[in-house]
Amino acid sequence: MHRKREYKSLNLINSMKKYFDIIVIGAGHAGVEASIAAEKTGCSVGLITMDKNAIGRMSCNPAIGGTAKGHLVREIDALGGVMGQIADKTGIQFKMLNTSKGPAVWSPRCQSDKNLYSAVAAEFIYEGKGIEVIQDLVKNLKVSEIKNKDGIYKYEIQGIETESGNEFDCKAVIITSGTFLNAVMHTGNSQVEGGRIGEKSATGLSECMMKLGFETGRLKTGTPPRLHYESIDFGVMEIQTGDADPQPFSYKTDKGNFPFQKQVDCYLTHTNELTHEILRTGFEDSPMFTGRIKGVGPRYCPSIEDKISRFSEKPRHQIFLEPETLEGDSIYMNGFSTSLPVEVQLKAARTIAGLQTVNILKQGYAVEYDFFPTHQINLSLETKLVSGLYTAGQINGTSGYEEAAAQGLMAGINASLKLKREEPLILKRSEAYIGVMIDDLINKCPEEPYRMFTSSAEYRLVLRQDNADQRLMHYGNKLGLIDNGMLGNLNSNIRLIKEGIEYFNSNTVSPKAVNEYLSAKSSSEISQNEFLSNIIKRNEVRLPELLDKEAFNENNLLMEIKKNKEVMNQIEIDLKYKGYIDRQNDQINQFVKNEEIRIPDDFKFRKIRSLSTEALEKLEKVKPNSIGQAMRISGVRPSDISAIMIYMRG
Amino acid sequence: MKNNLYDTIAAISTPAGEGGISVLRLSGENAFSLTEKVFSKDNSGIKKIDFQKTASHTIHFGYIFDNADITELIDEVLISVFKGPNSYTGENVVEISSHGGFYIAQKILSVLINTGARHAEPGEFTKRAFLNGRIDLSQAEAVADLIKAKTDSAHSSSIKQLEGALSEFAHKTRQEIINITSLVELELDFAEEGLEFVKADDIKAMITNLNSKLRRISESYIAGKVIRDGVNLVIAGKPNSGKSSLFNYLLNKNRAIVSSVAGTTRDYIEENIIINGVLFNLTDTAGLRSSDDEIESEGIRRSFSKIDEADMILYLTDSSEDEKFIEDDIANFENNFDKERSVLVFSKCDLKKVSSDKGTGVSLLNEETLENLKRLMSDKVKSAFIPFSKDEIVLTNIRHKFCLENVIRSLEEAITSVENKMSGEFISVDLRNALNHLGEITGEVTNDTILNNIFMNFCIGK
């Protein structure tokens, strides 16, 4: 984007203000992806953070991925984001979850050294020549009013002003403020302003946005105590090891040297009745139960006090102890998120097997922060009110590093596309978990922090972590985030997969060639020649084992397939689950048709008098841009959809 | 997404009740191919037709078969072919004219639905007509209102009660499926939560148990139809057996106050009467009368399709005939009529008594014999069609029956998935399909509900 660069220098000469194409506010997981995506697609980026040492910091658990979140990381990677690469470089335990289930719900996860993670994230940022990191606090957004009649946007972003008095002009702003907007931390009766322990809160930005007309809300999240390694007796706990054959997240990671870090274990212990009894003594000082915390917390990530009060019949709860770093002392006490008084945290922790003499390095706490309900943004993550203003991550009411990173990436991509006057990249629910998440955010406007689950993806069977490249890499390549070599590789794999499937569908195998193998796998033997695909379909049969049989050694295609594990895996999944996958693809075809019926931006729902009141209210709030989207808005009924269609024809 | 805008829809277009013919309409991309599957130009089911190759606006004679079993012939029909965009809806449209009677039309409809059509929503043909530009904007508002009005149109209070009970039942069923789905999903999204997961066998037992309840409700449709529409009563018998006299007697004494379905052209051959609280539709008697001269066992066999439509048959044997005649006629009755639904009546029993206990003697001159007959009729209906206790749900709407059958089918697929040891995400596909089909009755859709249910009932969060 040379045009933009020239523009920038022009700006510098005309005023003393500094110009960036895009300003990213916040350098967490969303901010990192947004900055890098924007920079790689040719934009100059100003990345403003309150603390230059906190780039890509893991505020909570020292892990990346997990069920559905692992899918997000693979998708970020396929699109050209960096989270997967950072996780691979810093991972100290890798595990594929759900391997006893079908391939669609396999999910990669790793424990990372949190200090290394942040350092590697910073390296990625500083590698980008077009990114300037500025340590400051944004106090104000500069906008100009748009005086057009269509009423889509009210303002256009012009730049920002900071606490230290700097002003920057820009074409787009991406806010990735995490838990920092007007953040208050709670432990017992104490309340401290700040978004993380020892870090301050960001004030001013929310107020400025509210003045522009944005609606705001409060959410809450929490984190458990960090424990002193030396004070723990791991001997009495259950060891949790990683996979023997660890798999990286990133398609870019060189498997030859992987894993790059020493691999370590985690430990499992449990709370007991005594723990619960002690925790209950702190309830009267709990900011949760006394109502001091107004924000809504996530139900899927409750505090330990919440668990024992809501599920009092459970005699014990799991506590995972996870090392935060390779060399350091700090152990993350997963499952024990709490905002009870520090003394209660310690006393309760010391009732747990292996923790009798434990010391707490950092207390658990709850944090409340501002978010902006997502009916105020479009599927591109741009706000409806201010052209060029994007929000991503916890400010949009999500929780989790992966959810944040995925949004940051999409905001970075779309801000950059907008500067080039191109259409935004909007992933469909049928294409990616990222599409599901953003669509849920906009159409369901969640009221608790949103986390990705595989069950939220109705087309789960085709949105697998193993085919993220096939689904998304072409987008990354088109954007310039994925190089041609990588796409070329993928395309030759896709070709091989297709040829392989055709071969297995049209070629038969003799009883002599396979019966020995079949009987070894307790699969019924065949009495006459059988199509290979029918053999591969069997539950007991594994394609790599089958291809190892002598009978297949002479065929060039099969030899080529045999050498390529990924291709073999794709072929096997495709053949084994064909019936289900075909059905899902049929559903997707229907779904896509409805997505393609566009509703104009300025469509006046109010004119349709047969809409129900609830539907009208929701439709005006969300302003869906397709019939498919309108159908997903809660409270909109099929008869409302008919009425909209009828009016659109008129 | 429940009903979409592109699938092929089908519905009976003629009003409920008896008439000379019924017309069934299909519209959508697959209207031709779906019809081809169940239609043949000859009665052996072999001579297939390709409607794509026939001219638009043409009529074709042939036969409709049960697709599950091509040898079962349902009816001779006339098929009108309209190719989009030159059709009422602008899509490919097929109209099937079948022989009179709702029963046959419904049978054909259910065959088409099993083949892949969807039962149309109220106003849906008109909606498509508009969306495809076949009718103009001034009609649009009326259509929108129509669609809205139909969904909450008033019914008689008894049917409302039934539907209230049905919707309560559907909600409960929905919750049950959500609970089962949650158990299946739990293991997928929360494998590491230290929760105890339910065994596959238990999941299977839960689904099987639920499905047998649903089957019973689905089978109640016949009963529901009887409650809503009345019992189709046919009086049959040889010439001069007294059919007309009995017909007229029943009409005069018991003429129903209820009118037939709005918009139905009243015809002298269809009359409603109420006997002991049961609504009967006296139908087709006139038609049977005109073929009196041919009523012999062979003739009866040929007019079987008509009799088949009846929910109940009164078969009259003239008591004044000689013994041989009566004996043959009783044999004829026993060979050709379904005992569950038929009553043998010895008419004119004031003239001569028949000694057989296979039927009941009736004389129009003897009030007591008539009361006997009426009690027999209403008892028969109650035992044949309403074997349900008062608290049980009875389906009265064919659309609901189709939805429920789809739910049942999806649950069966879920059971198969469990049996095949498929992982939860596959079982979930079937369970979610079941929920979607149920949503067509309750108007509710799903995703978040499953997660909410999990959060409510399980301690999640490590």
**What is the pLDDT of chain B when averaged over all its residues?**
76
> Is the backbone peptide bond immediately before A259 cis, with ω within 30 degrees of 0?
yes
Better pLDDT: B383 or B158 = B383
pLDDT band at A633 (very low <50, low <70, confident <90, very high): confident
A334/B133 CB distance under 8 A: no
Confidence of residue A52 (pLDDT cuts 50, 70, 90): very high
Res. A238 pLDDT band, cuts 50 70 90: very high
Question: Which of the residues A455, A456, A646 would you substitute to probe the B interface, choosing the one with the greatest number of B C-beta atoms within 10 Å?
Answer: A455
3-state secondary structure of A43: coil
A646 touches chain B (CB under 8 A): yes
Q: Name the pLDDT band for B400 (thresholds 50, 70, 90).
A: confident
User: Is the pLDDT assigned to residue A631 strictly greater than 50?
Assistant: yes
As a whole number of angstroms, the distance between CA A414 and CA A410 comes to 6
Q: How far is B199 from chain A (nearest CA, A)?
A: 14
Q: What CATH number did the domain enclosing A610 receive?
A: 1.10.150.570
Interior angle at CA B191, CA B189 and CA B196, nearest 5: 120
Choosing from A336, A368, A400, the residue where a domain stops is A368
E strand or H helix at B22: strand B21-27
pTM to 2 decimals? 0.78
Sign for the CA dihedral angle at A269, A274, A279, A280 comes to positive
- List the domain boundaries for chain B: 9-151, 157-220+394-457, 230-385
pLDDT at residue B162 in the model: 57
Hey, which residues does A190 pair with through a beta bridge? A187
Q: Which of A10-24, A396-410, A577-591 has the lowest mean pLDDT?
A: A10-24
Q: Judge contact between A623 and A598, C-beta under 8 A.
A: no
Q: What is the CATH number of the domain that holds A566?
A: 1.10.10.1800
| pLDDT tens for each residue of A404-449 | 999 999 999 999 999 999 999 999 999 999 999 999 999 887 888 9
Determine the pLDDT at residue A601.
82
Question: Dihedral through CA A295, CA A297, CA A302, CA A308, nearest 10?
Answer: 40
C-alpha torsion B256→B262→B266→B269, nearest 10: -60
CA distance A46 to A35: 8
Q: How many pairs of residues across A and B have Cβ atoms under 8 Å apart?
A: 138
Instruction: Report chain B residues whose CB lies below 8 A from the CB of A628.
Output: 1
Give me the number of domains chain A comprises. Answer: 3
| Distance in Å, alpha carbon of B137 to nearest chain A alpha carbon | 6
B77 bridge partner residues: B62
Per DSSP, the three-state class of B193 is coil
pLDDT tier, A310 (very low <50, low <70, confident <90, very high otherwise): confident
- Judged by a CB distance cut-off of 8 A, whether residue A417 touches chain B is no
Which of the given ranges, A250-264, B139-153, B442-456, has the highest pLDDT on average? A250-264
CATH superfamily, with its number, for domain B157-220+394-457: tRNA modification GTPase MnmE domain 2 (1.20.120.430)
**Nearest alpha-carbon partner for A89 in A110, A62, A70:** A110
* Cα distance between the two ends of chain A: 42
Same structural domain for residues A231 and A361? yes
Closest among B340, B331, B289, B333 to B310, alpha carbons compared: B340
CB contact (8 A) between residue B141 and residue A318: no
Q: What is the pLDDT of residue B139?
A: 57
Residue A9 has pLDDT above 60, yes or no: no
**What pLDDT is stored for residue A124 in this prediction?**
97
pLDDT at residue A302 greater than cutoff 90: no
* Record: contact A639-B187, CB cut-off 8 A: no
How far is the C-alpha of A413 from the C-alpha of A401, rounded, in Å?
18
In a domain, A252, yes or no: yes
Question: What pLDDT does B339 receive?
Answer: 80
User: How many CA atoms are closer than 13 Å to the CA of A334, on its beta-carbon side?
Assistant: 21
Residue B322: Cβ-neighbour burial (10 angstroms; 0-12, 13-18, 19+): exposed
A317 has a chain B CB within 8 A of its CB: yes
Of B144, B425, B450, the CB nearest to A104: B425
Tell whether the model's pLDDT for residue B386 goes beyond 50: yes
Integer Cα distance of B30 and B9 in angstroms:
9
In this prediction, residues A357-369 reach a mean pLDDT of 95
Do A506 and A604 reside in the same domain of the chain? no
Q: Is residue A231 part of a domain?
A: yes
Q: What is the mean pLDDT of residues A34-44?
A: 97
What pLDDT sits at residue B186?
Answer: 87
Facing B462 at nearest CB: one of A105, A318, A594 = A318
Interface touch A593/B5, C-beta < 8 Å: yes
In a domain, A450, yes or no: no
- Which residues, 6 or more positions from A400, have their beta carbon under 8 angstroms from its beta carbon? A69, A451, A452
The verdict on a CB contact (< 8 Å) between B130 and A580 is: no
Tell me what the pLDDT averaged over chain A comes to: 91
Q: pLDDT tens, A139-159?
A: 999 999 987 655 678 899 999
Tokens of B428: 């979930």
Q: Are residues A261 and A341 in the same domain?
A: yes
Nearest-CB residue to A453 (from B189, B420, B459)? B189
**A219 within some domain:** no
Q: How far apart are CA B235 and CA A269, in angstroms?
A: 80
Residues B151, A67: C-beta atoms closer than 8 Å? no
Winning range, highest mean pLDDT, from A129-133, A307-311, B13-17, B131-135: A129-133
Check residue B295 and give its pLDDT: 41
Q: Are A583 and B1 within 8 A, CB to CB?
A: no
Separation CA B185–CA B451 (nearest Å): 9
CB–CB contact A458 B450 (8 Å): no
Picking from A368, A400, A428, the residue at the C-terminal end of a domain is A368
The band of B323, judged by pLDDT with boundaries at 50, 70 and 90, is confident
CA B26 to chain A, closest CA, distance in angstroms equals 19
Q: How far apart are CA B47 and CA B114, in angstroms?
A: 21
pLDDT of residue A44: 97
- What is the per-residue pLDDT for B349? 87
CA distance A82 to A297: 29
- How far off is chain B from A48, nearest CA to CA, in Å? 33
Q: Residue ranges of the alpha helices (H) in A200-340?
A: 205-212, 273-281, 304-310
Q: Is the same domain home to A232 and A329? A: yes
Please give the pLDDT value at position A35: 98
- Low-confidence winner among A105-119, A627-641, B1-15, B230-244 (lowest mean pLDDT): B1-15
> Rounded to the nearest 5°, which phi and psi values hold at B341?
-110, 0
Contact with chain B for residue A241, Cβ under 8 A: no
* CATH (one of 2.60.120.380, 3.40.718.10, 3.30.1360.120, 3.40.50.620) for B9-151: 3.30.1360.120
- Mark which of A368, A394, A414 sits at the end of a domain: A368
pLDDT, residue A438, reads 97
In the prediction, which pLDDT does B462 show?
A: 53
Which residue of A454, A638, A649 is in closest CB contact with B189?
Answer: A454
B165-210 pLDDT, tens digit each: 777 888 889 999 999 999 998 888 887 777 777 889 999 999 999 9
CA distance B70 to B64: 9
Q: How far apart are the first and last CA of chain B?
A: 34
Do A492 and A608 fall within a single domain?
no
Cβ-contact A308, A280 below 8 angstroms? yes
Q: Do B424 and A647 touch (CB under 8 A)?
A: no
Q: How far is CA A566 from CA A42, A89, A95, A507, in A?
A: 33, 22, 18, 22
* Chain A residues 506-535 with CB within 8 Å of chain B: none
ω into B85 cis (within 30 of 0): yes
Mean pLDDT of A281-286: 92
Q: Do B426 and A580 touch (CB under 8 A)?
A: yes
pLDDT (0 to 100) of residue B336: 81
User: Does residue A17 lie in a domain region?
Assistant: no
Helix (H) or strand (E) holding B374: helix B367-385
* Burial letters B219-236, b for 16+ CB under 10 A, else e: ebbebbbbbbbbbbbbbb
Q: What is the ipTM, given to two decimal places? A: 0.83
In total, chain B counts a number of residues equal to 462
Contact A642 B147 (CB under 8 A): yes
Q: Examine the pLDDT at A185 and tell me if it is beyond 80.
A: yes
- Tell me: pLDDT of B281 over 80: no
- A610, part of any domain: yes
Q: Which two tokens stand for residue A534?
A: 């029918």
Helix (H) or strand (E) holding B321: none
Hey, are the CB atoms on A642 and B127 less than 8 Å from each other?
Answer: yes
Half-sphere exposure of B403 (CA within 13 A, CB side): 24
CA angle A462–A465–A470, rounded 5-degree value: 65
What is the structure's pLDDT at A551?
A: 76
Q: Supply the pLDDT for residue B101.
A: 63
| Rounded average pLDDT over B307-329 | 85
The pLDDT score that the predictor gives to residue A149 is 55
Q: Return residues 443-502 of A near B (CB < 8 Å).
A: 444, 453-456, 458, 460-461
Asked whether residue A72 carries a pLDDT value surpassing 70, the answer given is: yes
Residues spanned by the domain of A628: 597-649
Residue A512 has a CB neighbour count (10 Å cut-off) of 10
Nearest to A173 by CA among A184, A162, A164, A165: A162
pLDDT score for A16 = 46
Touching check for A540 and chain B: CB below 8 Å?
no
Regarding whether A334 and A237 lie in a shared domain, the answer is: yes
CATH of B230-385, one of 3.40.630.30, 3.40.50.800, 3.40.50.300, 1.20.140.10: 3.40.50.300
Q: Is residue A169 part of a domain?
A: no
Bridge-based pairing of strands A18-25 and A167-175 is parallel
Give residue B260's pLDDT band: very low, low, confident or very high (50, 70, 90): very low
Of A421-430, A609-618, B9-18, B86-95, the one with minimum mean pLDDT is B9-18
Q: What is the mean pLDDT of residues A72-81?
A: 98
Contact A116, A90 (CB under 8 A): yes
Rounded-to-integer distance, Cα B272 and Cα B259, Å: 8
pLDDT at B297 over 80: no
CA distances from A114 to A77, A163, A179, A229, B204 (A): 20, 29, 18, 15, 44
The answer to whether residue A5 scores a pLDDT higher than 50 is no
pLDDT at residue B290 is higher than 70 = no
Query: Same domain, yes or no, for A560 and A605?
Result: no
Asked if residue A281 and residue A239 are part of one domain, the reply reads yes
Q: What is the pLDDT of residue B148?
A: 43
For the ranges B270-279, B316-325, B334-343, B372-381, the lowest mean pLDDT is seen at B270-279
Is the predicted pLDDT of residue B56 greater than 70, yes or no?
yes
Using the predicted structure, report yes or no on whether residue A312 has a pLDDT greater than 60: yes
Same domain, A489 and A613: no
Determine the Cα–Cα distance for residues A458 and A94; give it in Å rounded to an integer.
27
Q: Is residue A318 part of a domain?
A: yes
CB contact under 8 A, B131 and A649: yes
- pLDDT at position B280 is 79
Let me know whether A310 and A272 are in one domain: yes
What is the DSSP code string of B322-386?
A: -HHHHHHHHHHHHHHS-TTTEEEEEE-TTT-----SSSEE--TT-HHHHHHHHHHHHHHHHHHH-
How far is the alpha carbon of A455 from chain B, nearest alpha carbon, in Å?
A: 7
Give the C-alpha separation, B73 to B65, whole Å.
4
Comparing A242 with B329, the larger pLDDT belongs to A242
- Find the mean pLDDT for residues A75-81: 98
State how far the Cα of B115 lies from the Cα of B30, in Å rounded to an integer: 10
Does one domain contain both A330 and A247? yes
User: Contact at 8 Å (CB) between A366 and A288?
Assistant: yes
> Above pLDDT 90, what percent of chain A?
75
Location of structure tokens 């900071």 = A162
A310 and A339 together in one domain: yes
**What b-and-e string marks burial along A107-141, b requiring 16 or more CB atoms within 10 Å of the CB?**
bbbbbbbbbbbbbbbbebbeebebbbbbebbbbbb
Range in A362-366, B333-337, B443-447 the model is least confident about = B443-447
